[in-house]
């Protein structure tokens, strides 16, 4: 089946076209036919369109909204310009898979979208007012373009974490707020954590219920997950993606009373403080320079910039603290797995995070660590390390495509 994967944000859409099916998944033989990104939707949008084996096309186009962007993607995918031999008309696209950020407590798995499912996704808007509306617009746009008969599947960032036990997902607030408003830890990046856990078990040749690992996703957003017996048992993001690790522009953990303190001292509204924590904090806030880890590392090395060095230290320290706490929570783990743009590419950051963990037997092989970048996959630990350390590139789009096929074909999935 040819699956169009859509990841719709408020002004950005990422997409991929993946050829896959049940037997293809088993053989790990899926094929990426095309991918692309459209940024700055709402005005003069920037397009990057990339068909398999051809150079990326970069152009601009006036795109009013998500509906027109999905329309443009569809036309390009079917066009002579993209020249995808498997896809000549709209009917060659067999299903659409959507990333949906928040599935609340309702969704523990991916689901074929019908009117009932759609209204349940709408019910989750209050939990993710910044994300779910764009995901829903993407679903509506695809329905309009492809017709109601084309299967669409929603794949939730939160679903993998629905196995968290009560003691891990409840905040120590008066219990009635959980009952009344469902205030609890949901966790995000679930598709990424689930994908790398799946790759890990393939690489090690072990069954799902023997996967006891800590997965660390370090991209622009960052999160850590404790996976025991194949299931997520704790994760660092919370009711929203703000909690946990230090991220590109998000603060991660902090004392909640800082909100009121800052609002009073700086004369800001609660909304302004919230935006400060989400958009101006983290690596960007500490360094005062950039949210981008590659640029920060360059500043630290080339200019010895004090605050760039500080931002990197705080970032690594927080990850190390989470690894320690999850090891205690899980009663030990077999491996630590790094993924995401930083986790996949930066030997230095992986090294810095693991530096403080020798006491518990974590030892990297420095040469291996240096070679595993740019999409490479495998272990980076020394032979005598008592905990394995892996680098596994994430592929959320592939998992969305696979879930779409499995949901459409009615095959259960984990």
What is the 3 state secondary structure string of 171-201? CCCCHHHHHHHCCCCCCCCHHHHHHHHHHHH
CB of 374 to ligand ADP, least distance (A): 8
CA atoms within 13 A on the CB side of 226: 21
For the window 235-274, what string marks contact with ligand ADP as x by the rule CB under 6 A?
A: -------------x--------------------------
**C-beta of 234 vs 396, nearer to ligand ADP:** 396
2 contributes a contact to ligand ADP by CB under 6 A? no
Q: Which stretch binds ligand ADP (CB under 6 A): 60-68, 319-327, 340-348, 382-390?
A: 340-348
Separation CA 353–CA 94 (nearest Å): 43
**C-beta of 21 vs 396, nearer to ligand ADP:** 396
219 contributes a contact to ligand ADP by CB under 6 A? yes
CB of 345 to ligand ADP, least distance (A): 3
DSSP 209-230: GG--EEEEEESSSEEEEEEETT
Separation CA 26–CA 384 (nearest Å): 33
Q: Which of 97, 190, 221, 252 binds ligand ADP (CB under 6 A)?
A: 221
Active-site annotation, residues: 157
Separation CA 14–CA 12 (nearest Å): 7
Separation CA 281–CA 272 (nearest Å): 12
Rounded to the nearest 5 degrees, what angle is found at the Cα of 362, between the Cα atoms of 358 and 367?
105
Helix orientation angle between 270-279 and 257-266, rounded to the nearest 10 degrees: 110
Q: What are the phi and psi torsion angles at 354 (to 5°)? A: -80, -15
82 contributes a contact to ligand ADP by CB under 6 A? no
342 contributes a contact to ligand ADP by CB under 6 A? yes
Q: Which stretch binds ligand ADP (CB under 6 A): 60-68, 135-143, 262-270, 286-294?
A: 286-294
Dig out the tokens for 229 from the structure.
Answer: 């017996």
Q: Which stretch binds ligand ADP (CB under 6 A): 26-34, 126-134, 172-180, 342-350?
A: 342-350
Q: Which of 223, 345, 381, 385 binds ligand ADP (CB under 6 A)?
A: 345
393 contributes a contact to ligand ADP by CB under 6 A? no
Rounded to the nearest 5 degrees, what angle is found at the Cα of 284, between the Cα atoms of 280 and 289?
125
39 contributes a contact to ligand ADP by CB under 6 A? no
**C-beta of 95 vs 312, nearer to ligand ADP:** 312
Nearest to 127 by CA among 210, 184, 212: 184
CB of 219 to ligand ADP, least distance (A): 2
Which residue lies nearest ligand ADP, judged by its C-beta? 341
User: If phi over 0 gives left and psi between -120 and 50 gives alpha, with beta otherwise, what is residue 301?
Assistant: alpha
351 contributes a contact to ligand ADP by CB under 6 A? no
281 contributes a contact to ligand ADP by CB under 6 A? no
Nearest to 20 by CA among 42, 2, 41, 45: 2
Q: Which of 253, 292, 334, 377 binds ligand ADP (CB under 6 A)?
A: 292
CB of 361 to ligand ADP, least distance (A): 26
Using an 8 Å Cβ cutoff, are 339 and 196 in contact? yes
Q: Which of 138, 230, 241, 340 binds ligand ADP (CB under 6 A)?
A: 340
The footprint of ligand ADP (CB under 6 A) covers 219-221, 248, 292-294, 297, 340-342, 345-346
């Amino acid at each position: 089946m040819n699956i169009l994967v859509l990841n719709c944000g408020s002004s950005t859409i990422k997409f991929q076209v993946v050829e896959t099916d049940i037997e293809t998944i088993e053989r790990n033989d899926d094929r990426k036919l095309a991918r692309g990104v459209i940024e700055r939707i709402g005005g003069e949008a920037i397009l990057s369109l990339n068909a398999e084996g051809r150079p990326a096309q970069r152009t601009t186009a006036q795109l009013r909204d998500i509906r027109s962007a999905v329309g443009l993607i569809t036309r390009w995918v079917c066009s002579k310009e993209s020249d995808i031999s498997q896809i000549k008309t709209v009917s060659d696209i067999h299903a659409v898979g959507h990333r949906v950020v928040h599935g609340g407590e309702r969704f523990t798995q991916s689901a074929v979208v019908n009117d009932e499912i759609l209204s349940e996704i709408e019910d989750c808007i209050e939990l993710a007012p910044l994300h779910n509306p764009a995901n829903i617009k993407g679903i509506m746009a695809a329905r309009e373009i492809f017709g109601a008969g084309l299967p669409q599947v929603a794949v939730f960032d939160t679903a993998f974490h629905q196995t968290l036990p009560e003691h891990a997902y409840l905040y120590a607030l008066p219990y009635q707020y959980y009952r009344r408003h469902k205030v609890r830890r949901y966790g995000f990046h679930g598709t990424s954590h689930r994908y790398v856990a799946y790759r890990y078990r393939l690489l090690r040749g072990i069954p799902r219920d023997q996967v006891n690992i800590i997965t660390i996703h370090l991209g622009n957003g960052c999160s850590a997950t404790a996976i025991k017996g194949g299931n997520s048992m704790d994760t660092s993001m919370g009711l929203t993606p703000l909690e946990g690790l230090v991220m590109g522009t998000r603060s991660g953990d902090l004392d909640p009373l800082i909100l009121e303190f800052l609002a009073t001292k700086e004369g800001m509204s609660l909304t302004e403080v919230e935006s400060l924590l989400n958009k101006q904090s983290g690596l960007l806030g500490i360094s005062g320079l950039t949210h981008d880890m590659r640029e920060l590392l360059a500043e630290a090395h080339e200019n010895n910039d004090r605050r760039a060095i500080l931002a990197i230290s705080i970032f690594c320290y927080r990850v190390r603290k989470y690894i320690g706490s999850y090891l205690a929570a899980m009663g030990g783990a077999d491996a630590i797995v790094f993924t995401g743009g930083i986790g996949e590419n930066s030997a230095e950051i992986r090294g810095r995070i693991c530096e403080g963990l020798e006491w518990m037997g974590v030892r990297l092989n420095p040469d291996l660590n240096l070679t595993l970048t740019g999409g490479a996959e495998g272990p980076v630990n020394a032979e005598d390390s008592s905990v394995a350390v892996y680098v596994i590139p994430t592929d959320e789009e592939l998992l969305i495509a696979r879930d779409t096929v499995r949901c459409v074909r009615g095959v259960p999935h984990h």
